[in-house]
Amino acid sequence: MAEKIQAVKGMNDLLPPESAAWEWFDEQVRRVMRAHGYQFVRTPIVEPTALFVRGLGEVTDIVEKEMYSFEDSMNGDKLTLRPEGTAGVVRAITEHNFLYEGGRRLWYAGPMFRHERPQKGRYRQFHQVGVEVLGFPGPDVDVEIILLLRALWRALGLSVGEGCDVRLEINSLGEPSERQAHRAALIAHFEQHADLLDADAKRRLHSNPLRILDTKNPAMQGVVESAPKLIDFLGEASLAHFAQLKAALDAAGLPYRVNPRLVRGMDYYNLTVFEWVTERLGAQGTVCGGGRYDGLVEQLGGKPTPGVGFGIGVERVMLLLAEAGALPAAPVPDAYAIVPDAAALPRVLATLDALRSEGVSVLLHPLGKEGAASMKSQFKKADASGARFALIFGADELANDRVGVKPLRAGEGAAQSTQPLDGVAAWAGLLRG
């Protein structure tokens, strides 16, 4: 026997019944996006490596040690499996001059790839749903996408706010010049306490000191807490943008925490940054992160264009939904078709097609090579399928151009009836419930 081939470590299969929960999640996302007027966009999984080096920053963890990059053996191009979605969307709208007619509200969904240690809720192939809004500079759009997320959490059955399933944290990163002043102050502070820094912090000290603030090392919490706060370096315009954001969130009745240590892992962010976090998943508590990136379009070769967006970690949201008991029950067919004899299949299939066109889901029992199966075994399979009704295409029923309809579940009634084969529309509602 040939040796089994297994999936790549950290890249997981999705099989029923779990896949049904993902389908339901996708449906909720599409419904919320449509309600807010957002349009779907799809970009390639493979992009030029330079896109992410330029867009994310050479000294970010993603670029330094997490990207799946390779050289195309056919032409020598340097390519990368996308580690996040924003850079690809910005590349697409720039390449196709997609902002010619004004701003855009876009969303995407799909797999991303990062080479990191697989753990619960954090995998090498993971999935994101994201939004990118381009061409609108005001904090009103920042609030819009945050409230869109509130609508999504509610559609998924999650409670929102302090002490609930998810809560909002916000911060402002200011503008690049303000961050530069804060960066210099951070470096000076951490240099004065170099003996307290771990190896990772020392590596980042002169390349990306802002990321030190995001450390999870308990031994460094004191030196981080005493570090200069970015908000003390913000100018009048940045403070006004942040104040308007908070005022709009207050007006919408959405509670939030201002977290001065909240940063994002990519270099392109400015002004508003936010995260939706949960206490239910331990260390993997961030389920969504986003913010404003007004310089990224120009950085990637386009005209100066403001932008703001977010990315949702779907695996983490699915874990949260399971933990919160918010996942729906796995779907079951409305009916299970029992066919004692393959000779009846032409009439059976025509009837099932008519039922499905009326919105009834029907599972047909396979008859196998023999072209027949016992009624007892078929009823057993019908019951195991979870279907609410059995459709019995027996010889007596078909001789009278009818089909037997037998309830299989409590609450559906106990009486078996027969229905006409040529009048499906009149009784399909009985099966849909």
pLDDT means per 10 residues, the chain with 433 residues, are 91 93 97 98 95 75 81 92 94 93 95 90 93 96 98 96 93 89 90 87 83 84 89 93 97 94 76 94 87 91 93 96 92 92 89 94 84 82 93 91 90 79 89 81
Task: Note the pLDDT of residue 404.
Answer: 93
Task: Note the pLDDT of residue 299.
Answer: 87
Task: Note the pLDDT of residue 251.
Answer: 97
Other C-beta atoms closer than 10 Å to the C-beta of 189 total: 16
CATH class entry, domain 335-432: alpha beta
From CA 388, how far away is CA 397, in angstroms rounded? 20
pTM of the prediction? 0.88
CA 54 to chain centre: 25
From CA 237, how far away is CA 219, in angstroms rounded? 36
Sequence ranges of the domains in the chain: 18-175+235-323, 335-432
CA 26 to chain centre: 8
Question: Which CATH code for domain 18-175+235-323?
Answer: 3.30.930.10
- 3-state class (DSSP) for residue 416: coil
How do strand 167-172 and strand 125-134 relate by DSSP bridges? unpaired
Other C-beta atoms closer than 10 Å to the C-beta of 132 total: 27
From CA 153, how far away is CA 155, in angstroms rounded? 5
